[in-house]
Amino acid sequence: MDRHTRREFLRRGAVAGVVVAGVPIVRTFDVAAFGQAGSTPVTPATTPTSTPTSPGPQVLAAEQSPAAKPAGGSGATVGGSSGTFDPGSLPFTGGNPVALGTVGAATAGAGAALLRSRRRARAAGVGHDAEHAKRTPLERLDDVLWAYETPVLGAFGYAFTVRTSDARLGRHVEQLLAAFRSASGAAPSTGAEPHVLSLRDRGAAIQPRFASYVDDRLVAADADASLVLAALLSAIDRGAVEAAASTHLLVHGAAAGTHAGCALLVGPSGAGKTTLVTALVRSGLGYVADEIVAFAPGSTAAACYQKPISLEGPARFLSGDLRDVAVLAPGRAAARWHVAPAMLRGDPLARSSPVRAVFSVRHRAGSATTIDPMSESDALTLLVANSFNGDRLDDVAFDTASTIVRDAPAFRLSFGDLDTACALVRHALGA
Amino acid sequence: MTFAAPAPGVRAARCADEVVLLDSTNARLHVLDATAALVWHCLDGETSIDELVHDITAVLGGDPAEVRVYVDALVALLASRELVVVDAAPVSAPLASA
């Protein structure tokens, strides 16, 4: 920069009233490592530990054999629960046992032990696949009579099919994943074999009754089918993130809007993004994405990722009338409600559209609903810190994030009342 | 004389009158307020700190000693976070993203 240019630049600072004195102010933030942004793992239902009443199929014996447990003994079974979850199989937070806070220290410890055992196995020359094959031999899954299998589906280049041992359950799952058959999730042309996701009802005599697998790997087993399905949906999220991380900016958020533009909702797990996007879609906005909001290089348009809406905890009861379409097995407890977008209202799916407003959302039950503007720098920090690949952004992705916040106003939205929050978001969009 | 330039791997984005730096080497974000951002943009590796302080004082006014203290403190802070490289000779600056 020559002196003339520098002085012209400094004059703009003078016009803005900048005074160069005092203590320099630089705020520093850590960006979550890849795999740490995103939803918390599914939390198994708290049910008494049970013992199988029959020998059951061999696959169960393999899952429960001491050899299948990681060194250290605790395995991945959460204390006090009949559910078995493989932390390594769960996306995002599952990649780092330290981040398994919501499941509790016991599970985090189990996750760490499992990861340690895998590292030891690899160091000893035992391959990842061989280790899993030992736990849940492929031929045993192939021996199951599968009643239903979806066509090949795609999520950002992650190709998969889902098969179930129960036809009714299969039809339900296919309806949940219908959007992944559309242009937004067109089957990839990579030529790679699609992953096989399996959801198995092992019958009432076997506990835990339901189990899910990615290829030959057990990812969850629980008496609650909704949790087992949640693990499969998380596997799809993880596959989509891994498929697109090198090419897209991947924000952990949700988006809804019109053809003219969408609202990008960002926040940590449990902030209320899914709850709010559900309410926005039911209020008439188009559903663009939940969990993963992807941006192609140089584009401020949110790509469609129209996964099922999954509600858990108190969030279920903010949309309580969805229970009938969400619960897999009526009469059973369902810790998670999975709702097909089509069940929210008629024709709910939107096309990819540019971000018109960014919201840092936080649901606070019983509190007033407030909205405050955010600075561009805070908004950019929000996007990068809540990106699945924020720790490995290239110049283009970082420029994409900065363009989004330069083009769209950003707000902090703290909501206690869903209707008011919807009205505020719609007002910001002019919708 | 002292020269400073953005470190390799540091990406910058202007956000209104602030600047956000992404350090890809350690996945950290740094937000510089308007004053720090103004100085940051002038750290091109070719302009000495003496010359920069002189220009700032000439254009924005202020006590040269106070300006010097601020610029030195900022450069030291940025260097401690490995956001700039400092040398006694001119430094080649990487292409900045903003």
Q: Which residues contact A139 (CB under 8 A, 6 or more apart)?
A: none
Q: How many whole angstroms separate alpha carbon A350 and alpha carbon A422?
A: 17
* φ, ψ dihedrals at B34, nearest 5°: -60, -40
Q: What is the pTM of this model?
A: 0.79
- CA–CA gap between residue A395 and residue A139 (Å, rounded): 46
A297 touching B, CB under 8 A?
no
* Distance separating alpha carbons of residues A12 and B67, to the nearest angstrom: 17
Average pLDDT, chain A: 76
Shortest Cα distance, chain B CAs vs residue A207, angstroms: 44
pLDDT at B38: 96
Instruction: Give tens-digit pLDDT for A22-80.
Output: 999 999 988 865 545 555 444 333 333 333 333 322 222 223 322 222 233 322 232 23
- Report how many domains make up chain B: 1
**Residues whose CB falls within 8 Å of the CB of residue A345, separated by 6 or more in sequence, listed in order:** A281, A282, A284
> DSSP character for A187?
P
Establish if B91 belongs to a structural domain: no
Q: What is the CATH number of the domain that holds B35?
A: 3.90.930.60
Instruction: Determine the pLDDT at residue B5.
Output: 96
Q: Is residue B9 part of a domain?
A: yes
Residue in chain B lying closest to A6 (CA): B42
Chosen from B33, B39, B47, B59 to mutate, greatest number of chain A CBs within 10 A: B59
| Residue A126 CB coordination number (10 Å) | 13
The answer to whether position B33 is within a domain reads: yes
Q: For residues A387 and A381, give the distance between their C-alpha atoms in angstroms, rounded to a whole number.
A: 10
* Annotated domain spans of chain A: 58-65+82-244, 249-429
Amino acid in the structure at residue A286? G
Which of these CATH numbers, 3.40.190, 3.90.1720, 2.60.40, 3.40.50, describes A249-429?
3.40.50
The range of the structural domain enclosing residue B11 comes to: 3-85
Q: Which of A200-209, A231-240, A273-282, A322-331 has the lowest mean pLDDT?
A: A322-331
Q: Above 60 in pLDDT, residue A133?
A: no
Q: How many CB atoms lie within 10 A of CB A360?
A: 24
Query: For chain B, which residues score pLDDT lower than 70?
Result: 93-98
Higher pLDDT, A116 or A207: A207
> What are the φ and ψ backbone dihedral angles of A263, each rounded to 5 degrees?
-95, 130
Average pLDDT for A314-320:
72
Chain B positions touching A395 (Cβ under 8 A) are: 11, 97
φ, ψ of residue A325 to 5 degrees: the values are -95, -5
Average pLDDT over residues A181-207: 76
Per-residue model confidence (pLDDT) at position A390:
83
Which helix (H) or strand (E) element contains residue A363?
A: strand A353-363
For chain A, what's the residue count? 431
Distances (CA, A) of A273 to A209, A346, A365, A389, A421: 31, 21, 14, 19, 11
Query: For residue A431, what pLDDT band results from cuts at 50, 70 and 90?
Result: confident
- Nearest by CB: B13 against A20, A33, A402: A402
Amino acid at A307: K
**B97 inside domain:** no
Question: Is B60 within the bounds of a domain?
Answer: yes
What is the identity of the amino acid at A79?
G
The answer to whether residue A218 scores a pLDDT higher than 90 is yes
Give A393's contacts in chain B (Cβ within 8 Å).
11, 22, 24
Structural element, H or E, at residue A248: none
Which pLDDT score is estimated for A379?
97
In a domain, B34, yes or no: yes
Residue to mutate among B10, B17, B51, B71, with most A CBs inside 10 A, is B17
pLDDT of residue A55: 31
**Chains A–B, number of C-beta pairs less than 8 Å apart:** 148
Q: Do A392 and B27 touch (CB under 8 A)?
A: yes
Chain B residues close to A7, C-beta within 8 Å: 55, 58-59
Strands A370-374 and A410-415: antiparallel
Q: Quick one: angle between helices B64-80 and B49-60, nearest 10?
A: 130
Amino acid A413: pLDDT: 97
ipTM of this complex prediction, to 2 decimal places = 0.91
Q: Is the pLDDT of residue A161 over 60?
A: yes
